[in-house]
A and B are shown apart, each in its own frame.
Chain A
């Protein structure tokens, strides 16, 4: 693993305090690990020439340049169409949860959002930011200028998870708000009524938007690593339940797997990219998902 790639690990990113640097490190680490070729070519407007390298598509070789210089050059392109992206952040209190991980679900989401923002601006795609609790709280209009990175990152840095959430209502509100087809990147733990959430996501898709759902759970929520008698407290609803964790583990894991697989099935059905994540995972999976989606647009 190269030195830069290690910045894809949440525990390393935690040590970097500035969000812009975090985003930069994540994206650089990610891009470093990729082959050069897949990264290019999903933009159709010519921008520059560069030398042919093994792995490049021979179709992209500029034969005129070859005739003049006797060397292989390939054309580099810029995007013809702009992909408007919205980073949609869940501000529920449950997002502030971390059991043993370095980053809370919310911090993990912010890092991921920042990296995607950085990447998109780099691609000259306009990016906006939407935050929601029980309804949409704040909204930053999408722009593709360099300054947009600073705007978004500074806003992300200021965000604090609130008490309650209503994902379904918030997404409905967002669907009504968006005028053009956009890429909606939703960061949430989805700890709400799945029926409502799925219905609202259907509406988003119906509106012609592409949706990437980053389902972010804490590692403890995925693995249920508790032992013995525990009293579990929900910060969002303030409910408490006393359970024998050892006896309950298998049942819990069954329930959470069922929960995730339902979202996965529903999302596949309505054409949403579902990315299940937990806070112990590297960031590259989320970024790859974005890039694949970006290619489809191209």
Chain B
């Protein structure tokens, strides 16, 4: 508390006046004759006590009247900031504006971001010329103080919506750090936010609390620009049956929908881009919304020719937040991978072929692989280039030329699977030619019964099994014999082990290709010629893990596993090029802006794109009209932006230091806080009211004492 004219506080000394008057010049009571005094005398003692009390009360009221008047005339003010010693110092102000997509929520014809920007502009107008101002949004680039207030205004004005915002807490912490460095200035951070639970959750508030505690001079003004009662329809991330389809395989698009505060069932429309990239409507559905606000639309589409296809799903009509009304998707249609299965005899590949391409299934669209079985004897005459992967099933000693050609095939991007077994021989397999592919030298056959026990399923070759890791009963499929390795090559990587910790599945990259070696045979021949099987993977009870494992390994070798084409804004996109696909440059077609030409380093097998801030379907192409490369991907908004639930202001007030935080919802609130913080709030009117009340009470009491009797 302070006073504008503290000298007038000297008037409080006049309090002595009524005290002196009370003691010295006490007013005489009216004297009256009254014979019936005996009735008065009876209660005189109690009456006198009460009388004295009233006298003292009257004296106190008169003293309070004088003191109150002196204080009122001294113009009392209260200071809000508590920044002692810094009154009148220049300001260091950081304006943090939440410019995430969610702030595009429209209320009373203005987006929340516009509202925040207007308030921030107004605030800048109020600041003294010598203030240092920083404008901080949720973009990932850091900001500093701008040169003058005009620049700050234009920064606020030009603040673009951020599709890929950093956490709001990062921006606030940056702002606190920035102003806290200005030790000679008053340090203020204004945060314009919709108080959504996504941006100000418990951990965020805790982090802000810690930052404020570290910078005790910083004052945080939290300006609430949000809306209490929200209404919104949101499309949640689309669920596709596969991102890579076989020709003629139907596409199933499931569209989860969440509706908040709107009664009407939404109409969802699906568009597919035609060859010119123009969206063509392919379906629409009215979505029934359940009591929990969730619903689901399902679209089935078919007859896709090979190539990349893109489309979008959106609501018909608008709602307050349009950003989550559209979701984009990309799929690729590729023919089934062509796999060469080499065995001693053609029947040796029976189990694996059935696992990869079951003969009972006649629908070609559901088969993932096109399998060709051949004997090792004819291998030297086969051109491997036409195959996506080659699997060597229990390979016998091979000629040096064959090892060499397999190595070259792998160098070019082919996949080679070596499933060791009964026919392997140390001398041949440890030869230089074989060692180009094998992960290490063979040591010996082991007959210690064990079983596969992959510990971590994070390798791409086994990632597809991850969802079933707990359910797979590996001990039911014992491995009776396996090859032990010695002297692993430097670039070999053990993907999985047996239960006895011996290496089971080892990968070795060769050139652009992939080579996987399994230490035991993937499938023994149907007729074993009087020997024990190496394992019971395909012949154990209900051998579905064998089918799953075979498909995973071969997909990985053929590089035909499903890969995502759906990304959130700001994520780095990795588009893996097809094996043996040489691209030196490509053109990126973003959704709304001009195409960009990029070059690739020689030998690169992946296109990396990090400029994914725009929402929509991107296209990557090279080779001109020949369409040597024609890929695509989609960038969607994070579902977090649809979280419009708010944190209660009381929760925020409780979570942050009360002496450093002020909550505001209107310009008046800000003005009041700012005034209090900088010059203090005048208490003159309150003081005058106090004086008037005391004066009234004094008058009332005085009249009771000294009423003139007519």
Interface residues of A (CB under 8 A from B): 93-94, 97, 99, 189, 191, 217-218, 220-221, 226-237, 239-244, 246-248, 251-252, 255-256, 259
Instruction: Please report the C-alpha to C-alpha distance between residue A92 and residue B703 in the assembled complex, in whole angstroms.
Output: 36
**Does B37 lie within 8 Å of A239, measured CB to CB?**
yes
| Separation of A231 and B709 alpha carbons in the complex (Å) | 12
Which residues of the other chain, B, contact A226 by a CB distance below 8 angstroms?
30, 32, 709
> Is B36 close to A, CB under 8 A?
yes
Given A230-B29, A242-B51; A256-B34 close (CB under 8 Å): no
Question: In whole Å, how far is A276's beta carbon from the nearest beta carbon of chain B?
Answer: 14
Contact B709 A248 (CB under 8 A): no
Is there an interface contact between B706 and A244, defined as CB atoms closer than 8 Å?
no
Q: Is B382 at the interface (CB under 8 A from chain A)?
A: no
Q: Is B455 engaged at the interface, CB distance under 8 Å to the other chain?
A: no
| B38 contact set on A, CB distance < 8 A | 191
* Contact residues in A for B40 (Cβ distance below 8 Å): 232, 241, 243, 248, 252
Assembled-state Cα–Cα distance A244/B708 (Å): 13
Whether the Cβ atoms of A252 and B39 lie closer than 8 Å is: yes
Q: Are A259 and B37 in contact (CB under 8 A)?
A: no
B627 at the interface (CB under 8 A from A): no
What CA separation (Å) do A97 and B54 show in the bound complex? 31
Q: By the criterion CB–CB under 8 Å, are A230 and B704 in contact?
A: no
Q: Are B32 and A191 in contact (CB under 8 A)?
A: no
CB pair A247 B29 closer than 8 Å: no
Interface-side segment among B42-50, B61-69, B288-296, B534-542: B42-50
A241 touches B41 (CB 8 A): yes
* Whole-angstrom distance between the Cβ of A265 and the nearest chain B Cβ: 18
Other contacts beyond A228-B29, A229-B30, A247-B47: 7, CB < 8 A: A229-B705, A229-B706, A231-B29, A240-B31, A242-B29, A247-B51, A248-B40
For the complex, is B363 an interface residue (Cβ under 8 Å from A)?
no
Is B490 on the interface with A (CB-CB < 8 A)?
no
* Also in contact, A255 and B42, with CB within 8 A (given A191-B36, A236-B35): yes
Is B29 a contact partner of A221 (Cβ separation < 8 A)? no
Distance A247 CA – B48 CA, assembled complex (angstroms): 11
CB distance from B88 to the nearest CB of A (A): 53
The closest CB in chain A to the CB of B44 belongs to A241
A236 to B33 alpha-carbon distance, docked (Å)? 10
> 5 tightest CB-CB pairs across the interface, nearest first?
A94-B35, A228-B707, A255-B39, A232-B34, A229-B29
Check A231/B47 contact, CB under 8 A, given A191-B38, A241-B41. Answer: no
Contact of B37 among A189, A237, A244 (CB under 8 A): A237
By a beta-carbon cutoff of 8 Å, the part of chain B in contact with chain A is 27-44, 47-48, 50-51, 54, 703-709
Q: Which residues of A contact B28 (CB under 8 A)?
A: 231
Report the Cα distance A227→B47, complex, angstroms. Answer: 15
Residue contact B709 to A243, C-beta cutoff 8 Å: no
The A contact surface, by secondary structure, is: mixed
Q: How far is the CB of A257 from chain B (nearest CB, A)?
A: 10
- Of B36, B50, B54, B709, the contact of A230 (CB 8 Å cutoff): B709
B30 and A228 within 8 A (CB): yes
- Could you tell me the distance in whole angstroms from the C-beta of A223 to the nearest C-beta in chain B? 11
CB distance from A150 to the nearest CB of B (A): 32
Q: Contact: A241 with B37, CB < 8 Å? A: yes
User: What are 7 A-B contacts defined by CB distance under 8 Å?
Assistant: A99-B34, A228-B708, A231-B30, A242-B51, A243-B51, A244-B50, A248-B47
| Residue of chain B at shortest CB distance from A244 | B51
CA A232 to CA B35, docked complex, whole Å: 8
* Minimum C-beta distance from B35 to chain A (A): 3
Q: Are A251 and B43 in contact (CB under 8 A)?
A: yes
Give chain A residues whose Cβ lies under 8 Å from the Cβ of B44.
241, 243
Taking CB atoms, residues of chain A closer than 8 Å to B27 are 229
A242 vs B55: C-alpha distance when bound (angstroms): 13
Task: Decide if B43 touches A228 in the complex (CB within 8 Å).
Answer: no
Give the distance to chain B from A262, nearest Cβ to Cβ, in Å: 12
Min CB–CB distance A263 → chain B (angstroms)? 14
CA distance A60 to B50 in the complex (A): 67
| B50-A247 in contact (CB<8A) | yes
Given contacts A227-B709, A228-B30, A231-B30, contact A243 B47 (CB under 8 A): yes
* Cβ-defined contact, B32 with A233, below 8 A: yes
Known A-B contacts A232-B37, A237-B37, A255-B39; A244 and B32 likewise in contact (beta carbons under 8 Å): no
Cβ contacts under 8 Å, B31 to chain A? 230-231, 233, 240
CA distance A235 to B44 in the complex (A): 18
Contact (Cβ within 8 A) A231 B35: no
The answer to whether B706 touches A228 (Cβ under 8 A) is yes
A232: min CB distance to chain B, Å: 4
CA distance A243 to B51 in the complex (A): 7
For A252, the chain B residues whose CB sits under 8 A away are: 39-40
Q: Which of A217, A230, A237, A241 interacts with B30 by CB under 8 Å?
A: A230
Q: Which residues of B contact A189 (CB under 8 A)?
A: 35-36
**In this complex, what residue of B is CB-closest to A246?**
B704
In the complex, A241 Cα to B38 Cα: how many Å? 10
Q: Is the CB of A234 within 8 A of B30?
A: no
User: CB-CB < 8 A to A93: which residues of B?
Assistant: 35
Q: Is the CB of B36 within 8 A of A231?
A: no
Pick the contact of A227: B34, B48, B50, B707 (CB < 8 A). Answer: B707
Are A228 and B39 within 8 A (Cβ)?
no
- B29 partner residues in chain A, CB cutoff 8 A: 228-231, 242
Q: Which residues of B contact A230 (CB under 8 A)?
A: 29-32, 709
The one of B35, B51, B705, B708 that contacts A221, using a Cβ cutoff of 8 Å: B35
Per the bound structure, the CA–CA distance linking A251 and B51 in Å amounts to 14
Contact B704 A244 (CB under 8 A): yes
Contacts of A244 in B (CB 8 A): 47, 50-51, 54, 704-705
Contact of B32 among A231, A246, A247, A251 (CB under 8 A): A231
Interface contact A228-B35, CB-CB below 8 Å: no
Of residues A231, A232, A242, which shows the largest number of chain B Cβ atoms within 10 Å of its Cβ?
Answer: A232
| CA–CA, A14 and B625, complex, Å | 137
Chain A residues lying within 8 Å of B709, measured Cβ to Cβ, are 226-228, 230
Interface centre among B27, B37, B41, B704 (most CB of A within 10 A): B37
Distance A154 CA – B331 CA, assembled complex (angstroms): 139
B51 touches A259 (CB 8 A): no
Please measure, in the bound complex, the distance between the C-alpha atom of A43 and the C-alpha atom of B41, giving whole angstroms. Answer: 50
Contacting pair A221 B37 (CB below 8 A): no
Given contacts A229-B29, A244-B704, contact A256 B41 (CB under 8 A): no
**What is the distance, in angstroms, from B114's C-beta to the closest C-beta of chain A?**
67
CA distance A252 to B40 in the complex (A): 6
B37 partner residues in chain A, CB cutoff 8 A: 232-234, 237, 239, 241
Residues on A with C-beta less than 8 A from B39 are: 252, 255-256, 259
- How far is it, in angstroms, between the C-alpha of A93 and the C-alpha of B34 when the chains are bound? 11
- Asked if A256 and B36 sit within 8 Å, CB to CB, the answer is yes
A204 CB to nearest chain B CB (Å): 23
Partner of B35, one of A97, A243, A248, A256: A97
CB distance from A245 to the nearest CB of B (A): 9
Known A244-B47, A244-B50, A247-B47; contact A233-B41, beta-carbon cutoff 8 A: no
